[in-house]
Structure 1
């Protein structure tokens, strides 16, 4: 692991995590520590698999310490920090399929406990903490959605931290996975891009976006992005706009193209406009909004060690 200092722009090596992992989650807790959970180990040869382990990073010491194991190993799950400070982990995949289970981490005890089961198995979904404290899970790839098994999902559901129960809410207009979800200043949730997959032979990236209204439980189509993309990032800026960057798409020759383009969503108009390109194409990267309002973009395929700032 390494630490970025926005004041100097310098990265510093920190202690290694106890277990190497990918497709895990990382959550900043109320006490400032960072909880890393699940994901997959991969030795670079023939051994890989899901992990149930979790560990904590302490910024005060720079150390990683092991904490409680999840009840189930899982890859590609979501993790949401609830208003009560607990962390909700939901869905993901294992060796033989996808998960509908969820569990809670209590930072006071370091213990994971099982909580409600989602209505569908999901992988590559999104989870958004709403202003009312509930968690909106949308889309993904997984369970039976009225047509076939193991396809994109248009369904969404809500987790209530008070009852621990999941309830269905409105369906998106399009099924999608590996999309992004952003909670806007007005409390609505913007979902953008991702990939469709009908469970047979048809799949590909999307340029569509839609908006979830917690007051009604309905999804409304919004403007289309200038480019279809999945594996991108979405960052809510201090001015309320949403910056989408990178991802991948089929080009005109029918080959995968890694994107360096970026665009902005304006909640006041519902429209997308192009903005400055990144210096390198990347997907499955990470984007972090700094306290200065700048956006730090790191890594991704195939720009593993490079870093850039949007301002």
Structure 2
């Protein structure tokens, strides 16, 4: 038995001695405090102890704090209010107040008879499990109330772990004459239901940033080595990992970089004094998501010496997510992928006001939110599109919803019956991934999509069209002329002969693969113009962009000036000036026309296009392979019935096809010609098939 203590440095893998406790003890309980100090309580040194000490990592020293009413301690749990709940082997439980340094009885008269402290739940309540299996309860520290949870077989609890989705993995052990029997369950807190799970293994566990559970294993009652495993709670699958050097595992701790420190006993020489051995487990390759913030609220401290409790809501929080005020990392409690509680000590109150709060998911990948102030609430959600936007009965597919502030949805619903959307991982604040299921008997027609987030709700009307599946008599065949080769750009001119009128014309662009159209959009002809504007919405990581095509069908050069502006009308950078020679055409993305210093990773605003002579202009919004054409606002006179019709963009080959539709609405015959020109004004040879 010893009073010594040591610190582990993950960077060097070395242990170094620090200050010694005032009293030697073994089998004590410990808990991190809201200000970063450590509470150690109970234990024994020939007698059960009621004393407690606090370690200050800043000074490396220990100090005696208040005494508990009872001797010994069976468990310690940091609560979301910043107090530490201490459970005793018998009698009433207690709470430790780190501000006053005193122990008091737990609210509601909680005692060891109510069950073992095993896990916090995502709402801040505490799950208690009994050895009988039939008296499991949920304790609310705020009110002191107890409610019934569920019943299972009478097993001694080996561990419980809160999962990112709010469920709890419970592992238990039962000793019978045949030996040690392990069981595992998944507890659904919302439904108060419990189902069997696969990881029937003993040993301490750690929730990895990837969402997998690392269970260190150990040695059962028959001295059989239980190999460590990874458990995937989303699929109930077990993944075997390499064995450890020492199977007698005492504890395991998640390090800030995502590795796991495992502490074991080397019992090659038996005896209670066997050496302590530490090992590091490094998970396989994975990629952390960026955190999404929805709101940050705070408690009202009772005095200047009280800490401030931050309730942080959002999505994609990890078990090693860091919350910082300025450059100082706060003590946090992980309450699932959507909630973290953080504690701000009095010394950081001024910085909390001046610097705000940032949330960081560490590498690999990950990211850091912009600093926000207490009281922050994310703007309401916005939906701009869903892709695909059509489906047939009896289908299941993945849909991508684009918009703003949609990264933390609480529900996603389609109108009517027979269509459901399930939220998938890997989304962001601007992209939501849905698994959509369309029942075989779903009604035909359009469905609206509603997304609800903590900051509001939004509905996209006619978001999804349900249609009958029409099985073709033959499978579509690839179209060589359309799907191979390089993309050929140009423009089209429909010219009525003298004395005739122009047909009603539309042009439809389509992306084709294996003979099937993947996406398409249509435009109507617009008058030649010397000035127009387009909305610009660019997010380069999801290939959201604006394409602009300008055709100069005249015989003289056109001088073009493009000016990029943010939403308030302020110009960004210098205008772009270019020249389009007579009979030529230009088709470029906004990200090609303007420098990256102006566009950045994302941009929202508008672009104004001015020309020295009248030209034909079209805009096309892209989001991946999905695109839509943009109406061109012009101030010139409408098209004359006898004027040539110009479409400033025509695309062929490389996966693109263009359909030209001509409709004669007059009572007599009309005649004219259709010319397709390439970007240099030369006639383009195309294959007509319709």
TM-score range for the pair, normalised by the shorter chain length: 0.5 to 0.7
Tell me which structure has the larger Cα radius of gyration. 2
1:221/1:72 Cα in 2 relative to 1: closer, same or farther (>3 Å)?
Answer: farther
The two structures, once aligned, show a CA RMSD in angstroms of 2.1
Task: Give 1:126's aligned residue.
Answer: 75
Segments of 4+ in structure 1 off by > 6 A?
A: none
Alignment coverage as a number of residue pairs: 228
Task: Give 2:230's aligned residue.
Answer: 309
Cα separation, 2, equivalents of 1:100 and 1:227 = 34
Task: Give 1:222's aligned residue.
Answer: 149
* More strand per residue: 2
Cα separation, 1, equivalents of 2:187 and 2:138 = 12
Aligned with residue 297 of structure 1, among 205, 215, 232: 215
1:137-156 matches, within 5 Å, as: 137-138=86-87, 140-141=88-89, 153-156=90-93
Task: Give 1:202's aligned residue.
Answer: none
Cα separation, 1, equivalents of 2:109 and 2:55 = 29
* More helix per residue: 2
1:137 is paired with a residue whose SS is: strand
Quote the offset at 1:74 in angstroms: 1.7
Quote the offset at 1:309 in angstroms: 1.2
Quote the offset at 1:230 in angstroms: 2.0
1:175 is paired with a residue whose SS is: helix
1:73 is paired with a residue whose SS is: coil
Task: Give 1:234's aligned residue.
Answer: 160
Aligned with residue 183 of structure 1, among 120, 123, 143: 120
Quote the offset at 1:68 in angstroms: 0.9
Quote the offset at 1:206 in angstroms: 4.6
Matched, 1:91 2:42: yes
Quote the offset at 1:187 in angstroms: 0.7
Cα separation, 2, equivalents of 1:268 and 1:305 = 33
Cα separation, 2, equivalents of 1:63 and 1:230 = 35
1:223/1:231 Cα in 2 relative to 1: closer, same or farther (>3 Å)?
Answer: closer
Matched, 1:110 2:48: no
CA contact (8 A) 2:20 2:62 kept: yes
1:180-214 CA-partner distances (Å, limit 9, x unpaired): 421111110111134xxxxxxxxxx6553211112
Quote the offset at 1:102 in angstroms: 0.9
- Give me the TM-score of the superposition, normalised by structure 2: 0.32
1:262 is paired with a residue whose SS is: strand
Cα separation, 1, equivalents of 2:192 and 2:111 = 16
1:246-293 CA-partner distances (Å, limit 9, x unpaired): 4234x4xxx374233200122113332211243xx43xx211111111
Aligned with residue 67 of structure 1, among 5, 8, 18: 18
Structure 1: which 5+ residue stretches go unaligned? Answer: 1-49, 142-152, 195-204
CA contact (8 A) 2:93 2:112 kept: no
Task: Give 2:373's aligned residue.
Answer: none
1:86/1:173 Cα in 2 relative to 1: closer, same or farther (>3 Å)?
Answer: closer
Matched, 1:79 2:30: yes
Task: Give 1:28's aligned residue.
Answer: none
1:206/1:166 Cα in 2 relative to 1: closer, same or farther (>3 Å)?
Answer: same
Task: Give 2:169's aligned residue.
Answer: 243
Quote the offset at 1:156 in angstroms: 1.4
